A and B are shown apart, each in its own frame.
Chain A
Amino acid sequence: MEKRASFGRQALRQLILLIVSVIVIYPVLWVVQTAMTPAQEFRREIAVSSWSFDNFRDVVSTKDARGRWLFGRQLWNSLAVAGVTTLFGIFLALTGAYALSRFDFPGRETGLATLLVTQMFPGVVMAIPIYIILDKLKLLNSMWGLTLVYSTTAIPFCIWMLKGYIDTIPKDLEEAALLDGATRWQIFTRIALPLARPAIAVTALFSFMTAWNEFILAATFLNQETAYTLPVAIQRYVESEKTAWGHFAAAAILVSLPVVALFFALQRHLVGGLTAGSVK
């Protein structure tokens, strides 16, 4: 549009961006530096005197008494729980959002209002009831119970977001497909689903994050250390009498990496997927 801003304005803008960058990066660098410092202590200078991967090695090579490779199993658990949660979450959110976006059925308004309301549930009171319900469903101690709970936690927001996105997909397309002989389900899978891909990517991301980061329920439900997820396992570094900062930092990096990678892989969709509904 207008001609480029004056040099002064540009410089100011870059300066602000630079400052924010420093603020954003600083804690990250601090964690990296702590992870790279061999001694289990808390340091404050950003100055890496000697690089060492000992902390990473210690964390990754954690084994239990029977010599089973705990870190590997816990990583696998986390991946499995988060992966299945993502699939569940996408399925539940997408079908739900589709119904809310495409049909004007009795109960729709109630549904929409309820979704918003669930965001206001204080999680604190729900931990014990969830435990009781999973117990009744015989899903305690299993990955499935956790997975269900996680996908349920993530879906209200995901439905809200997906519905906004699906609203922007022209209805014409589906009517055309209807005339072309498609069933409702075919329209859903062949037209709506591929077209909602950016929003699905974001849904996937949020579902994955919910499952990947949760530790309070996981620490309560799972009955075997080999079944723990990584965030539960990480507690060991934070809660001893003396925090093992180096190990904590190394573990934090290892745990964060997959989500960060996923975030960056999907960040192109983030902008569109998140806001399509509200800006139309």
Chain B
Amino acid sequence: MASVTLRGVGKDFGATTILPSIDLEIADGTFLVLVGPSGCGKSTVLRIVAGLEAATRGDVAIDGESVTDKKPRDRDVAMVFQSYALYPHMTVRENLAFALRLRKDPQAAIDARVAEVGEMLGLGALLERFPRQLSGGQRQRVAMGRAIVRRPRVFLFDEPLSTLDAALRGKLRVELKRLHQQLKSTMIYVTHDQIEAMTLADQIVVLNGGVIQQHGTPDELYRRPANRFVAGFIGSPPMNFLDVEIAKDGDGSAMRAPGLELRLPERWPEGPAVLGLRPNDLVPSDDAAAPLSGEVDVVEPIGWEAHLHGRIGETPVCAQLTADVARRYEPASTIRFDIAPRALHLFDRDSGARLSAEAQDA
């Protein structure tokens, strides 16, 4: 059980800076997901915490105690690798027992612990097998078991589900969640898959280009993305973005774009901006005064819901509708949408930062 603190942690590989400076506070028992596109430096952060990679600058502390200069094995953290990194020449039992053996636990204690963890993960029947004799899901479970056996202070996961098929991934996600509830340990989980992040996390950190974009609960990130990047990254199908012009309009503002004409009661900063709309916030309307109008391209039915792909002005958009509603629209027909006022996200055209309405309403 431990908290993890990163203060000004940075990493350069040769002349290239991968992480400029990361500050992060992870409370004890948190399931923190580090999410971001691949190559953004997530694994590097994780490996710095594990001690596999030395930080170029900054400090890592576990439970308030700096571990920056400690060797990995003195940090008491466990890591589940993307490749699982199971020792191919050891049986499942030996894999699980390896760490305990190294620290010279009594054999009886090792046996008991391995049995216990095997039980917990349903590995009982597989203990004498070699990794190559296991399926992907089983290997994944062994890799987790190997981490659990040691009762580490912190668990680190580096995209542990990415090599599995979708169905298995869903199932293991649930297992992981249950495991966290059971163990109540601090866990840092790296993934590029925002669904995993949303389903698993207590806290999400979105990373892009080595810089933290936003840190918050899944709900916060979904509802108030801090910038256009986070907005586009979290949520599926992804948010639609329209370039708009905002002008003064009496007390409020008016937002215009080809196919868009919307009055807003609040006062927003004038000038060019980007409007973000989640596909499920686009509500088809027969009202000719509805603020958005566009043309239907393709309708994609997915069981009870459907994705309607169309264009507003020249910008492609996607709307998430129920299948019943979607059926009413033919390709090339015109469609109009209503927008709930709370569903609007506005971002600065240049910096991508979230815009907010001016003070009076805030």
Contact = CB atoms under 8 A, between A and B. Distances in A.
Q: CB atoms of A and B under 8 A apart anywhere in the complex?
A: yes
A172 B85 contact: yes
B79 A176 contact: yes
B83 A172 contact: yes
Contacts of B103: 181
Interface string A180-216: 1111001000010011000000000000000000000
A178 B72 contact: yes
B130 interface: no
B362 to A, nearest CB: 47
A179 interface: yes
A183 B71 CA distance: 10
Interface in B77-95: 77-79, 81, 83, 85, 87-89
B150 interface: yes
Interface string B100-126: 001100000000000000000000000
B50 A177 contact: no
B215 interface: no
Interface string B5-40: 000000000000000000000000000000000000
A175 B146 CA distance: 13
B73 A180 contact: yes
A170 B102 contact: no
A178 B52 contact: yes
A20 interface: no
Contacts of B150: 180-181
Interface size class of A (residues with CB under 8 A): 10 to 19
A178 B54 CA distance: 14
A17 interface: no
Interface in B134-179: 146, 150
Interface string B55-76: 0000000000000000111000
B99 interface: yes
Contact of A172 (B81, B99, B102): B81
B89 A194 contact: yes
Contacts of A173: 85, 87-88
A175 B73 contact: no
Contact of A175 (B71, B81, B88): B81
A177 B81 CA distance: 12
Contacts of A175: 50, 52, 72, 79, 81, 85
B329 interface: no
A195 B50 contact: no
B89 A176 contact: no
Given A172-B85, A176-B87, A178-B71, 9 more contacts: A173-B87, A175-B52, A175-B81, A177-B87, A179-B50, A180-B150, A181-B99, A182-B102, A195-B88
15 contacts: A172-B81, A172-B83, A173-B88, A175-B72, A175-B79, A176-B79, A176-B146, A178-B71, A179-B50, A180-B73, A180-B99, A180-B146, A181-B99, A186-B102, A195-B89
Closest 10 CB pairs of A and B: A172-B85, A180-B99, A176-B85, A181-B73, A181-B102, A194-B89, A178-B72, A172-B81, A173-B85, A172-B83
